[in-house]
Homo-oligomer: A and B are copies of this chain.
Amino acid sequence: MDTGHIAWMLTSTALVLFMTPGLAFFYGGLVRGRNVVSTLMYSFIAMGVASIVWVLWGFSLAFNDASNFGWSGGLDYIGLAKIGTGNGELGWDIPDLLVAAFQMTFAIITPALITGAFVERFKFTTYLIFLVLWVTFVYAPICYWVWGGGWIGSLDGGTLDFAGGTVVHINAGIAAVAAAYLVGKRRNAGIEPHNVPFVVLGAAILWIGWFGFNAGSAGAANGTAVFAFVNTNTAAAIAAVTWALLSYIHTGRISGVGVATGAVAGLVAVTPAAGWVGVAGALAIGLGAGIICHYAVHFEILRKIGLDDSLEVFAVHGLGGIWGALATGIFAWGALTDSDGGLVNGNAGHFVANLIAVVATLAYSGIVSFIILFVLDKIPGLGLRISESDEDMGIDISSHGERGYVADGAD
């Protein structure tokens, strides 16, 4: 096997894994100080639970081509046993076990993204079970459909999801809507993020880690990876600047959190396109993401229909992801996709395939996430939400026995 590819994919895997604590800080900075530990932990523990699920059966369900009636992959890779020393059986130019590791990092961050919808009130123990079920019944099948040999990836016209616009972002975005609906609004929503530097730190780690996410999805240290790298950065850059300018136009001030959110929106949107568009395409995608996500947040679209998607997961990852998926169909560059290119080149194939992928992901993830959460809510002893008094006191003390910051003369 090519050691350069292995080197880059090992690095990419580490980079993507780093995104989950990055997300922890992004989200953690946005909530109130009395809920920071909980918010960090929702992401951090996903590195624990989702890793184990993935190693034991998740990867098999997502990538074993001995299909399970088309719903998911087969069970041959349970415990990663059979792929341990395989090289290239999965069709990547790296050891199969490295494919499993790289893909694992996606299965970790995707459920962590959802948590932004229900911070400050979701029961941590129920969340541990949710993680197991959601990775198994939502993430793994969708991953299989798109990347593991399933129907979405085989659509006529050619579905293009380079690094997870559907699998990761739309998936998490719509699950966030279901979760926000079922868990209900916060009793007291607070006004300001409690720690803007943490938001910036998180955004920075996400930005850097995303190079692993997108350029790593090339599966190799090659020209496609380089394109994905440059496009990723370009889209993030222009979306951040776009948000800054819109912020300035509407308020006369430039929100640091907004700029960070803009960068993330650009990164989300370029994800499905990363290796398949040129720099101009990346600029267009990033610009669109900055505008769309800014106004979605600006007009509080979900809040208007009564949903407290607290950290606006749907506005950023859902809408950003949908825009990115469609935009990939628009701006795909034939030289990179080895096809007739996107809508701009008069080829509607990718666009239509991606549209189907979007709708399928919204439908499946929305419904199954809803069912999982609905059932968890009804099971005695579980339930989605902590008690009112625990929420008032802050979930850090009540669920974790900890306070984020102690600056108490007595200690």
Residues of B within 8 A of A236 (CB): 47-48, 51
The answer for the CA separation of A197 and B246 in the assembled complex, in Å, is 32
> Which residues does chain B contribute within 8 Å of A28, judged by CB atoms?
197
Say yes or no for A403: interface residue by CB 8 A criterion: yes
Q: Is A253 part of the binding interface, using a Cβ–Cβ cutoff of 8 Å?
A: yes
Asked whether any CB of chain B lies closer than 8 Å to the CB of A37, the reply is yes
Q: Using CB atoms, name the residue of chain B closest to A84.
A: B278
Measured CA separation A311–B259 after assembly (Å): 24
Given contacts A10-B229, A223-B95, A226-B97, contact A256 B40 (CB under 8 A): yes
Asked if residues A259 and B11 are in contact (CB atoms below 8 Å), the reply is no
A192 proximal to B (CB < 8 A): yes
Contact A237-B51, Cβ < 8 Å, known A24-B200, A406-B193: yes
Residues of B within 8 A of A280 (CB): 79, 81
Q: Which of B87, B195, B204 contacts A404 (CB 8 A)?
A: B195
Contact of A400 with B256 at beta-carbon distance under 8 Å, contacts A227-B97, A405-B407 already known: yes
Between A2, A40, A79, the greatest number of chain B beta carbons within 10 A of the residue's beta carbon is seen for A40
CB A257 to nearest CB in B, in angstroms, measures: 7
Q: Which chain B residue lies CB-closest to A14? A: B211
Chain B residues near A251 (CB-CB < 8 A): 401
Question: Does more than half of chain A's interface fall in helix, strand or loop, or is it mixed?
Answer: helix
Task: Give every chain B residue within 8 A of A47 (Cβ-Cβ).
Answer: 207, 236-237, 240, 263
Copies in the complex: 3
Question: Is residue A33 contacting chain B, with contact meaning CB distance below 8 A?
Answer: yes
Residues in chain B near residue A33, CB distance under 8 A:
406-407, 411
**Interface band, chain A:** 35 or more
17 pairs of residues in contact across A and B, judged by CB atoms under 8 Å: A3-B3, A3-B222, A7-B7, A10-B11, A17-B233, A48-B238, A48-B240, A48-B241, A48-B263, A55-B237, A81-B278, A85-B223, A190-B411, A193-B402, A196-B396, A253-B401, A254-B401
A binding-site residues for B, Cβ under 8 Å: 1-8, 10-11, 13-15, 17-18, 20-21, 24-25, 28, 32-33, 36-38, 40-41, 44-45, 47-49, 51-52, 55, 79-81, 84-85, 87, 95, 97-98, 100-101, 104, 124-125, 128, 190-198, 200-201, 203-205, 207-208, 211-212, 215, 220-223, 225-227, 229-230, 233-234, 236-238, 240-241, 244, 248, 251, 253-257, 259-260, 263, 278-280, 283, 335, 396, 398-408, 411
